[in-house]
Chains A and B, each alone.
Chain A
Amino acid sequence: MQNFEYLAPETLSEAVNLLAGNEGQTRVLAGGTDLIVQLRQGALSADHVLDVKHLPECNELGYAPSEGLTIGAAVPCHRIYNDGAIADAYPGLIDAAAIIGGIQVQGRATFGGNLCNASPSADSIPILIAYGAECVIAGPQGNRRVAVEDFCTAPGKNILEKGELLVALHLPSVQKSSGAHYLRFIPRYEMDIAVVGAGASVQLDEGGKMFVQARIGLAAVAPTPLFAREAGQLLSGKEVSEESIETAALAAQSIARPISDMRAPADYRKHLVKVLTRRALLGAIRRARGEFVPNAVQENGQ
């Protein structure tokens, strides 16, 4: 690996100044589970590596039922799933946090890094989209907020401009009678990249019979993670039924433009989009009704 200068700023303004002012390539380091691998393989180069783990704003993990959830860009997965209040309020996030690599990777990997790395198969992105999460971005011109679905632009590319960094993700507060679920298909239980991933969040009426609203996000079926906007909108005001779920799953399937690679041929991925969207919706509906749906750590029926 080429050598670089390691920078560990302690304030956001210092970080932005360094990012904006440095000559050469400055790479932002969160958990390093993508960056260190890419630098070592020579896929990326760096003259400077700027660690965000000393920035207070990036370490914030704040949840208040009325305000929603703020996940700082340096917060690793293990902090998210070990926080009982967050796990109860946002179970769909835990579905993703508990399957990104193994425990060692989860000790370091952040949702912010998962998002900034902009892999089409990133496991946290579909569920962040489903939850309606926003990115809080700091830069030389001040802060801006961007919806997660608008953040990735191509494989490995995102909308950040020179001098900008992701500070945090913000999720809106959880409505009554709502639930969410993320799942992916891989040929084994752990430690693999999604062949397809689907995340759904739903809000039902008080009786749990009608959809008030729904949002669906997809992974590994296009050059960027996708927001299946229409598929979710089709459910608003509809009865919770096999037919309505099937209609949404077909709509999600229709926007998928997968490629064939070593993990799966395109037509198989296309098939999986429908299957997984349906299952993500069913899991979200069950949780909205207060039923138990296990994540990767929990055993069935626990």
Chain B
Amino acid sequence: MNSKAHVKTTINGEEMEFLCEPRQSLLEVLRDDLGLTGTKEGCNDGNCGACSVIIDNVLVNACLVFAVEIQGCRVFTIEGLASPEGLHPLQQKFLENASLQCGICTPGFLVAAKALLDHNPDPTEHEVRHWLAGNLCRCTGYDKIVRAVLKAAEVGRETTAPAGSSN
């Protein structure tokens, strides 16, 4: 008992292995053991969304996942958003629309917004607001974030046309 678990997983497309204690959250392991500090800790109890990551295409809070649970899963974190060619349209639109101030909430919003656009490339404002309700921001008042997501969705639709089946 209390021995460390050996976990094999894929993070941002890269196969990884690590040892962890069963009680460690995915958030803890990402930040403290794997050096992926882009995922932020706000509340550590599921309320703020700063730790948003995508596991097997599902948006979750990394603070409410035990790291041992991700055995064999595909994890996406904020570090996977930009490509060598440049920023992701969401990041670009966040900059253009001044959608961040202190920035602690930003990785969580970006990952959550990416999950939204993967799932629904043409969201209404209502859908964006509903989807992002689990992400808190103390600085911006949300409006600029919502605008940026809607604009990034437009960019995404332009660049992926002609529309095929996506998932």
A residues in contact (CB < 8 Å) with B: 1-6, 29, 31-33, 36-37, 39-41, 47, 49, 51, 53, 76, 78, 101-105, 107-108, 189-191, 296-297, 299
- Structural contact, B130 and A36, CB atoms closer than 8 A: no
Report B-chain residues with C-beta under 8 Å of the C-beta of A29: 66
CB distance from B142 to the nearest CB of A (A): 12
Given contacts A32-B65, A36-B66, A108-B60, contact A189 B133 (CB under 8 A): yes
A-B pairs, top 3 by smallest CB distance, nearest first, are A102-B134, A190-B133, A6-B22
Report B-chain residues with C-beta under 8 Å of the C-beta of A51: 69
Known: A3-B23, A37-B64. 4 other contacts (CB 8 A): A4-B1, A6-B22, A47-B1, A102-B135
- Structural contact, B46 and A101, CB atoms closer than 8 A: yes
- The CA-CA distance from A189 to B130 in the complex, in Å, is 9
Report B-chain residues with C-beta under 8 Å of the C-beta of A1: 23
B78 interface residue, CB < 8 Å from A?
no
Report B-chain residues with C-beta under 8 Å of the C-beta of A297: 127, 130
- The CA-CA distance from A33 to B1 in the complex, in Å, is 24
- Structural contact, A103 and B115, CB atoms closer than 8 A: yes
- Structural contact, A108 and B64, CB atoms closer than 8 A: yes
- The CA-CA distance from A32 to B135 in the complex, in Å, is 19
- Structural contact, B64 and A33, CB atoms closer than 8 A: yes
Q: Is the interface of B mostly helix, strand, loop or mixed?
A: mixed
B17 interface residue, CB < 8 Å from A?
no
- The CA-CA distance from A60 to B133 in the complex, in Å, is 28
Given contacts A5-B1, A49-B22, A101-B46, contact A108 B135 (CB under 8 A): no
B 121-133 binary contact with A (CB < 8 Å = 1; else 0): 0001011001111
Our pick among A101, A107, A299 for the contact of B124 (Cβ within 8 Å) is A299
B87 interface residue, CB < 8 Å from A?
no
- The CA-CA distance from A36 to B22 in the complex, in Å, is 12
Given contacts A104-B46, A105-B46, contact A6 B66 (CB under 8 A): yes
CB distance from B86 to the nearest CB of A (A): 27
CB distance from A181 to the nearest CB of B (A): 18
Of B25, B60, B65, B112, chain A has the most CB atoms within 10 Å of the CB of B60
- The CA-CA distance from A107 to B22 in the complex, in Å, is 21
Our pick among A6, A39, A299 for the contact of B5 (Cβ within 8 Å) is A6
Given contacts A4-B22, A32-B64, A190-B130, contact A107 B2 (CB under 8 A): no
Report B-chain residues with C-beta under 8 Å of the C-beta of A4: 1-2, 22-23
Given contacts A32-B64, A32-B66, A40-B44, contact A2 B127 (CB under 8 A): no
- Structural contact, A103 and B64, CB atoms closer than 8 A: no
- Structural contact, B126 and A36, CB atoms closer than 8 A: no
- Structural contact, A40 and B45, CB atoms closer than 8 A: yes
- The CA-CA distance from A33 to B43 in the complex, in Å, is 13
Our pick among A37, A78, A108 for the contact of B45 (Cβ within 8 Å) is A37
- Structural contact, A191 and B64, CB atoms closer than 8 A: no
- The CA-CA distance from A258 to B126 in the complex, in Å, is 34
- The CA-CA distance from A180 to B57 in the complex, in Å, is 30
CB distance from B18 to the nearest CB of A (A): 14
CB distance from A259 to the nearest CB of B (A): 23
Report A-chain residues with C-beta under 8 Å of the C-beta of B127: 297
Report B-chain residues with C-beta under 8 Å of the C-beta of A41: 45
B49 interface residue, CB < 8 Å from A?
yes
Give the residue name and chain of the B residue nearest to A98 (CB): B130
B99 interface residue, CB < 8 Å from A?
no
Report B-chain residues with C-beta under 8 Å of the C-beta of A39: 23
